Amino acid sequence: MKTGEHLDIFNNKPFNQVKCYFHDTYYMGAINMHKHNFYELNMVTRGTGLLCMDKDSTVVEEGNVFLILPNVEHGYMIDNNLIVFHMLLHSNFISRYSKELNSLSISLQNNLNITLDKSELDEIMNLLIELDQLQRSSDTSSDIMKNSLSLYLICRLSRHMPEKDKNDEKTYPEGIVKCVEYMNLNYKERINFKKICSMLGVSHSTLRSYFMEVYEMTPSDYLRELRIRHAIDLLKNTDKPILEIALECGFYDRSHFNRTFKDKTGYTPHAYRTIQI
């Protein structure tokens, strides 16, 4: 991965929200310094290495689990037979399971750092292998299974958080969670962000800074991507007229829908539907 890599590694497939794989540095080489705008959960399954994040470095070993936040430069500079399991989490995954993630002891605004003993690591190894195998498939059912198993894995890991961390105040902003939930439920309607901010008791600039920190986009951009994702699903899986799809996804005229869809995908809705046939 190159510095600054973005969400396009997920290929804009509706259910392709997680990417899972093992990186064996003996065969695949070291992991150079890089950064990206999505979350990355790492688990060391063998060996030791030196993890560098920004200007800090720490020795990691078998059983270490840690979360790398968006836009944090990181890499492995020194290793000894190191194998790392990587789970890359698209912002769509974070928003889709926001309730579940925020009810767990894992806070996605902090650097998760836990250590599993050998028996605990052995218990979940088959799950990691299954996720790695699902990654090699490109069908929709594999993507959905990968999402579900990834959430299950995160739940398993949350049980290993120290008690003192479980009682810590959540740092994941409540405002952004409620705003994302509201948009997911009401994306078909006209959405007034001033009204949302009033309901949440936050200023528009605060809400915007939350979204820029977590998703690297404004609330309006997030809503636009949400609507386009639903439009893609309807274009691929239904024969509904394009105008009907536009209205169902919160666009109030076809020309605006066409322009926005092409900006995001490179195709008009009609052309996109044609290449899916």
Each residue's pLDDT tens digit in the chain (277 positions)? 343 444 456 766 667 789 999 998 877 777 888 888 888 999 999 998 888 887 677 888 999 998 888 778 888 876 678 899 999 988 788 877 877 777 665 555 455 678 899 999 999 999 999 999 999 987 889 889 999 999 999 888 888 776 544 444 444 456 677 788 788 888 899 899 888 888 888 888 888 888 887 777 889 998 998 899 889 989 988 999 999 999 999 998 899 999 999 998 889 999 998 887 5
Question: Would you say 182 and 176 are in contact if contact means Cβ atoms under 8 Å apart?
Answer: no
- In the chain, the amino acid numbered 89 is L
- Say how far apart CA 60 and CA 221 lie, in whole Å: 37
At residue 127, the pLDDT reads 94
CATH of domain 7-166: 2.60.120.280
So what's the pLDDT on residue 107? 52
State the Cα–Cα distance between residues 127 and 149, nearest whole angstrom: 8
**pLDDT attached to residue 38:** 83
Residue-level pLDDT at 91? 78
The β-bridge relationship of strands 31-34 and 56-61 is unpaired
Enumerate the domain spans of the chain. Answer: 7-166, 174-276
Cα–Cα distance between 233 and 142 in angstroms, integer?
16
Distances (CA, A) of 53 to 15, 203, 239: 30, 32, 48
> Alpha carbon 239 to chain centroid distance?
30
The answer to whether the 7-166 and 174-276 domains have the same CATH topology is no
CA distances from 166 to 106, 158, 161, 169, 266 (A): 8, 9, 7, 8, 45
Helix (H) or strand (E) run with residue 252 in it: none
pLDDT of 14 reads 66
CB distance 268 to 262 below 8 Å? yes
Helices (H), the chain: 25-28, 91-96, 98-103, 118-135, 140-158, 163-166, 174-186, 193-200, 204-215, 219-237, 242-248, 254-265, 269-276
pLDDT of residue 106: 54
Q: Which CATH superfamily is domain 174-276 in?
A: Homeodomain-like (1.10.10.60)
What pLDDT score does 8 carry? 58
